[in-house]
Structure 1
Amino acid sequence: MLAAVCLLTACGLPRSGPNKNEIYAGAVERGGDAHVIYVNNHVTRTANFAPSYGFSSAFRSAGAVGADDIRSGDVLGIAIWENVDDGLLASLGSNSTQLQEIQVDSNGNIFVPYAGTIRAAGNTPDQLRQIITDRLSSQTPDPQVTVARVAGDGATVSVIGKVMAQGVYPIERPTRTLSAMLARAGGVSIEPEIAVVTVKRGSEAGKISMPELWTQPANDIALRPGDIVLVEEDQRSFTALGAFGGQTRVPLGNETISAIEAIAMVGGLSSTLADPTGVFILRDEPESVATQVLGQPIYGTQRMAYVLDLTRPNGLFLARDFLIRDGDTVYVTEAPYVQWQKTLSAVTGSAATADSLSSLGD
């Protein structure tokens, strides 16, 4: 019997993952590359760094686009009246000229006969009207000019992803902010609580959750021409493995949850398998947080294995105070007796099988 137990132990029995001693063997102190840290009040205070979404100051400080400003790509309609019968531009018998569909080029300029090349981008239609009037005044007496925007596709924003109506939308007076543009696209097509909005502007990008957009007015940024607005489902999650009631990848969304809540979300600890002294939270900790947790200068991202012992007098309180982050792995080891139970079951099962075969042989 003893020989059979040793043989089975050497061969290895099925299990959900490493035991506590095997995890401890990977600690830095034993030549490994992970810091194994027992969770205490100091750790809960220093490790509860919760990175959040948000826009940089460059996004927040950008001013609203003037709804009347002319931009490259706009199409203008210009009408010119002259106080003479045979003017510069008007045909014989007419004192007015209609210049339709003049497009502002990529440099922001337009060409008007006898007025020459004029900078249109950045001016309002009224400002451009005054510029053309001044240019023509030296060649025809008291010209009267009107300028109107025929089409304004120069200042647009692309809205894509989980919205009701994807498309390219012009920045107009009612749609100069992020929330207004999302409303123009019909709103989000998923539950707002799990929606994340990314705004890409040139080489920079900012991200915000829908609840943060509602509750923090500073996040309702002004949009700029060429912005790309992407709405997608929040991908933040943690993974639960080991002696749980269930093993799965669990979405976090915009929620802030503790270790005890994470355990409850996957059905709690398995009463027949779990070791309550071996609850591990595995994560890659940024340099700034690792330095505070370890109490010494640390350089670069560190692998951390936080240990929660739920049997300690304050174990449940510490688990309640320790926050779970995006990308965490929550792993629960099996109780030591489980392997012995499996071994004995395998041995007694093998012995019973051998007896049955022997009986059949007889």
Structure 2
Amino acid sequence: MINSLAKKTVLNAKLAALALAVLGLAGCGGAVSGAGPYKGSIESKNETYNLVDINASTITPYMAGVPRPVLTNITKPRSAEVRLAPGDTLSVLIADTAPEGSAVFAPLASGGTQLNTRIDTEGMLSLPYVGRQFVAGMTLNQVENMIRRELKGITTDVQTHVELVGDLSGSVLVAGAVKKPGRFSTLQGPLTLLDAVNQAGGPVMEPHLVNVTVRTGTESQQFNYEDVLAGNNMILRPNSEVVLDRARQRFVAMGAVSEPGLKDLPGQNTSLLDALGSVGGLREANANPEGVFVFRMGSGPKGKPTVLRLNMRDPAALFYARQIVIKPDDTIYVTNAAVYEWQKVISPIVQTMLLGRTTGIYN
């Protein structure tokens, strides 16, 4: 009897020691560590953020606004005035009206004299009897007038025609997040913003994830590509630069969701329900449907952050989740169920007891 009692006492002491050891490890943040704060911690009074319990009377400020109407106007390309630049290639036709025997250039009846020339790095153009002339920044009409002026006295009545056949001054550069970046000519006609992006193969991401920057040398404009598709197209000036890059349209999913991490918003005005769907929804094994939170930074440097709380046990919460709009840089956090947190404490103790039985500690 005494031996039996002594064995039982030793057994209890060993069990207590093992339990304390496991709980000690748990207290150090091992076994019961989570992906974020507990539901009670978030709901406790905190002066650093505003906690909003989402219901029919509080949801309005967090809903999507009235959608902008899609424009019906069409941007019609109109030829812009081309200013010549170094690297441009010109085709120059000079025709002489003097009698054929005394003409310096071929007469117009026989097609005139055709010359191809390139503007050098100094902006100079070189032609017979005209010499080297500075033409950078000039229009084609101004070059024609300059040629006639320089040939005055050399020939009686000269006819000239200048055509741009290889242009840098009139081209448009498209770079960044497009499939085929490059420089595209406007010789076939002026380009709209959509024309230029389409010639570059289109963006490599969804339209709402793409920002478009247009630089003209004197000003810079930025658009979201989805807005451009909605009708906010524009004519590109010659020698413009179009740069497409990733718009910061991301959110973070944490806690008891199937696919936590940094994610792209599925579209413009993404709802909370859509965002949860894009990460696989709540993890049924351990999620607490009553603890679905959206953490949002305040507007401005001194704006107070906001935490939205949604109880998904309430059937109406599914409609609320469809109406709440997730903004870039929001964090969606789903807490663990209380029973799951308790299981994280109990499970190591049970495993330790089984291990002790296997190794003979209770024999």
Q: What TM-score, normalized to structure 2?
A: 0.71
Q: Distance in 2 between matches of 1:198 and 1:80?
A: 47
Q: Unaligned regions of 5+ residues in structure 2, if any? A: 1-15, 68-74
Q: Distance in 1 between matches of 2:292 and 2:329?
A: 17
SS in 1 for 2:172: strand
Give the conservation status (yes or no) of the 8 Å contact 1:244–1:268.
Answer: yes
Q: In structure 2, what is the equivalent of residue 292 of structure 1? A: none
Q: 1:46 aligns with which of 45, 61, 72?
A: 61
Q: In structure 1, what is the equivalent of residue 223 of structure 2? A: 207
Give the conservation status (yes or no) of the 8 Å contact 1:81–1:145.
Answer: no
Q: In structure 2, what is the equivalent of residue 179 of structure 1? A: 194
Q: In structure 1, what is the equivalent of residue 242 of structure 2? A: 229
What is the Cα deviation at residue 273 of structure 1?
A: 1.5
Give the conservation status (yes or no) of the 8 Å contact 2:167–2:187.
Answer: no
Q: Distance in 2 between matches of 1:337 and 1:353?
A: 24
Q: 2:258 aligns with which of 245, 250, 265?
A: 245
SS in 1 for 2:174: strand
Instruction: Summarize deviations over 1:177-235 as a string: whole Å, max 9, x none.
Output: 122223333x33747657736234147352332x543331xx22211233333446666
Choose 41-50 or 251-260, whichever is displaced more: 41-50
Q: Distance in 2 between matches of 1:225 and 1:317?
A: 50
Give the conservation status (yes or no) of the 8 Å contact 1:44–1:318.
Answer: yes
Q: Unaligned regions of 5+ residues in structure 1, if any? A: 53-60, 288-298
Q: Distance in 2 between matches of 1:149 and 1:130?
A: 15
What is the Cα deviation at residue 323 of structure 1?
A: 0.9
Q: In structure 2, what is the equivalent of residue 11 of structure 1? A: 28
Report whether the alignment pairs 1:274 with 2:287.
yes
Q: In structure 2, what is the equivalent of residue 332 of structure 1? A: 334
Q: Relative to 1, partners in 2 of residues 1:86 and 1:174: Cα closer, same or farther, differing over 3 Å?
A: closer
List aligned pairs for 1:50-69, cutoff 5 A: 64-66=78-80, 69=82
Q: Distance in 1 between matches of 2:198 and 2:26?
A: 63
Q: In structure 1, what is the equivalent of residue 167 of structure 2? A: 152
Q: Relative to 1, partners in 2 of residues 1:149 and 1:6: Cα closer, same or farther, differing over 3 Å?
A: closer
Give the conservation status (yes or no) of the 8 Å contact 1:190–1:233.
Answer: no
What is the Cα deviation at residue 151 of structure 1?
A: 2.5
Give the conservation status (yes or no) of the 8 Å contact 2:172–2:241.
Answer: yes
Instruction: Summarize deviations over 1:110-129 as a string: whole Å, max 9, x none.
Output: 5775699576735344x543
Q: Relative to 1, partners in 2 of residues 1:353 and 1:165: Cα closer, same or farther, differing over 3 Å?
A: closer
Q: Relative to 1, partners in 2 of residues 1:151 and 1:354: Cα closer, same or farther, differing over 3 Å?
A: closer
Q: In structure 2, what is the equivalent of residue 293 of structure 1? A: none
Q: Which has the larger radius of gyration?
A: 2
RMSD, matched Cα: 4.2
List aligned pairs for 1:257-272, cutoff 5 A: 257-272=270-285
List aligned pairs for 1:1-362, cutoff 5 A: 4=20, 7=24, 10-12=27-29, 13-24=32-43, 27=46, 29=47, 33-41=48-56, 43-48=58-63, 64-66=78-80, 69-73=82-86, 74-76=88-90, 77-79=92-94, 81=96, 83=98, 100-104=115-119, 110=125, 121-125=137-141, 128-133=143-148, 136-137=151-152, 141-161=156-176, 163-185=178-200, 187-188=201-202, 190=204, 196=210, 198-201=212-215, 202=217, 204-209=220-225, 211-216=226-231, 219-231=232-244, 236-287=249-300, 300-312=302-314, 314-358=316-360, 362=363
Structure 2: which amino acid aligns with 1:19?
Y
What is the Cα deviation at residue 71 of structure 1?
A: 1.6
